[in-house]
Amino acid sequence: MPVAAVIPAYNEEKTVGNILQLLKSISLIDEIILVSDGSTDNTAYIGRSYDVSVIELPQNRGKVGAVMCGVKSTNANVILLLDADLVGLKKEHVYDLLLPVLKGESDMTIGVFKNGRGATDLAQKIAPFLSGQRALQRWVFDKLKDYNVKDYGLEMALTIIAKKENLRVKTVVLNELTHVMKEEKRGFIIGVASRIKMYWDILTCMLKLKLEVF
């Protein structure tokens, strides 16, 4: 069953290289697609240097736009979604996300950080369903087409759809994995603004999909 890893990246030159290098060493993955979402740094250049498929969007489309573009470009049946700002990604994390889907035991897996860093562990403990680390059957992803999901609403939408349709979802622990937080990447003011926008996207997505998840 062909597997594509889709990595949305907006100005992630500091972290994306290590992620691509690790993914390239995993034979379960047939295709690696880096979507540089209007990045103004060396993200796309680094992607090309690892000899993976690089889609360079001329303008920033937001996370869901970037991911959709990447998924559209492949025929793979199984999609692995990973953020480009992960720190500490190991092969075991990727296997733990992919294998339940490849074995047909789960329709989607959701990876939750543990023992990474206090702040990012806590965020995912409170809201594991927001995690960007997932593996899923393509037909699950394709259900997003029926909804008008914006930017950071992606994970909330996938989680709600899975619940609504009674899909088999497995939460897997990603030990000693963390990511660079918005405030660390973009500075305090832009980081906080981006965080507020993220929560707004999530809230509007929840309201739109009219389903309670709590």
Ligand X SMILES: O=C(O)[C@@H](COP(=O)(O)O)O[C@H]1O[C@H](CO)[C@@H](O)[C@H](O)[C@H]1O
Ligand Y SMILES: O=c1ccn([C@@H]2O[C@H](COP(=O)(O)OP(=O)(O)O)[C@@H](O)[C@H]2O)c(=O)[nH]1
Query: Nearest-CA neighbor of 79 among 29, 137, 18, 27?
Result: 137
**Distance between CA 190 and CA 210 in Å, rounded?**
30
Q: Segment near ligand Y (CB under 6 A), from 44-52, 111-119, 165-173, 178-186?
A: 178-186
Binds 9: which of ligand X, ligand Y, none (CB < 5-8 Å by kind): ligand Y
Does 201 help bind ligand Y (rule: CB under 6 A)? no
3-state secondary structure of 66: helix
Question: Total number of residues binding ligand X (CB under 6 A)?
Answer: 16
Does 124 help bind ligand X (rule: CB under 6 A)? yes
Helices (H), the chain: 16-24, 43-49, 63-72, 91-102, 118-126, 138-142, 154-164, 182-186, 188-209
Among 47, 111, 155, 174, which residue sits at the site for ligand X (rule: CB under 6 A)? 155
Residue 105-144 contact track with ligand Y, rule CB under 6 A, x = bound? ---------------------------x------------
Among 12, 13, 31, 107, which residue sits at the site for ligand Y (rule: CB under 6 A)? 12
Binds 10: which of ligand X, ligand Y, none (CB < 5-8 Å by kind): ligand Y
Among 13, 85, 155, 201, which residue sits at the site for ligand Y (rule: CB under 6 A)? 85
Q: Could you tell me which residues are beta bridge partners of residue 186?
A: none
Query: Nearest-CA neighbor of 93 among 36, 5, 204, 175?
Result: 175
User: 132 phi and psi, to 5 degrees?
Assistant: -85, -5
Cβ proximity of 58 and 44 under 8 Å: no
**Distance between CA 45 and CA 65 in Å, rounded?**
20
Does 28 help bind ligand X (rule: CB under 6 A)? no
Looking up tokens 């992803």, which residue turns up?
Answer: 141
Question: Smallest distance, Å, CB 166 to ligand Y?
Answer: 27
The footprint of ligand Y (CB under 6 A) covers: 8-10, 12, 37, 60, 62-63, 66, 83-85, 132, 179, 181-182
